[in-house]
Amino acid sequence: MDTKSKLLSSYQLGNITLKNRIVISPMCQYSAVDGFANNWHLVHLGARAVGGAGLIIQEATAVSPEGRITHADLGLWKDDHIPPLKNIVDFVHQHGSKIGIQLAHAGRKASKERPWEGGKNINKDQTNGWQPIAPSPIPFSENEPLPHEMSLSEIQQVINDFKAATHRAIAANYDVIELHAGHGYLLHQFYSPLSNSRTDNYGGSFENRIRLIVEIVNAIKEIWGKEKPLMVRISATDWVDDGWQISDSVKFSEILKQLGVHLIDVSTAGNTLANIPVEPGYQVPFSSSIRSQANVPTGTVGLITTPEQAEKILQEEHADLIFIGRESLRNPNFPLYAAHILDDEHETTWPKQYERAYPNHGEWK
């Protein structure tokens, strides 16, 4: 085996250099109060920096209170949120990793219980509940209440909320912004025909359904700048015949590239109940199609659990970055483990406090 792995090689993303191509995927922790980060978030994200990740993406962070999935989501809708987040950013930087923030709005999938409490809708009149909003009054499933159909002024307010959150992300010194436009949340709800039945400029045609995302990307870029990395997470398919398709995603990705988006984070599904053929690497083909047909850098995610699997994906040019989620929860030191497994010659530095666990590049035990 070539001992110079692609997985552990550096990658230029906008105006920053990642020390390797391993990205910690944003994973909600449902552990905040009023949107504020706390020691759980510091330890969770900090551990992945200590573990050697090139880039860590903070969980979906709501741009408004009603944009949260649950009452325990992180937020960036007020300046008071900045100091504890900056503390996390500073710690991650001290340990050699870059960090991004995923700006998000849950739309109709908001006002939920935390997953370990059942994940059900909380009525707007109950404690920790509020009125979900959406492009159209179409519920996610038949057992959920109708969301409120957004007016044009409410759409503009969402754009303003993303702009304000971008200013705060700069103040907290994040390296990357990822716009969450997948998994059935608000921006996905706009571009998917399954959840958007509007007849104005934000519904109907493909161009109208992607309009809100285009306007938000332009608004973010105006503040964030052209060189600082901006990524967009999309769901490449709804996995249903009359929903959003991979051909739509290729076309969409071409437009996002023209707008100055640096990388498409390719996931799938989340906007409806669907039959998904889940297996290791099941989303990789979508990343590959977008990368080759739209000629845009991509990241891939979904049941990628071994260094060998991640390396093969990169060597076969299906993606430029590997996003690790659940496997990172199981092994926060996955990048260091990958260097051992791949016998990599790239410089890989264990924290001094942990070196005794890995003397002289011996056996991983």
Active site residues: 185
Q: Phi, psi at residue 344, to the nearest 5°?
A: -80, 140
The tokens describing 319, both together, are 């993606």
- Cα–Cα distance between 81 and 168 in angstroms, integer? 9
Q: Phi, psi at residue 202, to the nearest 5°?
A: -110, 15
The tokens describing 155, both together, are 């759409």
Number of alpha carbons in the 13 Å side-chain half-sphere of residue 318: 19
Instruction: Tell me if 271 sits within 8 A of 186, measured CB to CB.
Output: no
* Spatial CA neighbour of 264 closest among 287, 241, 292: 287
For CA atoms 302, 306, 308, 310, give the dihedral sign: positive
- Cα–Cα distance between 173 and 50 in angstroms, integer? 19
- Cα–Cα distance between 263 and 178 in angstroms, integer? 9
E strand map for the chain: 11-13, 16-18, 22-24, 55-62, 98-104, 133-134, 148-149, 176-181, 230-235, 263-267, 298-300, 321-324
Number of alpha carbons in the 13 Å side-chain half-sphere of residue 164: 16
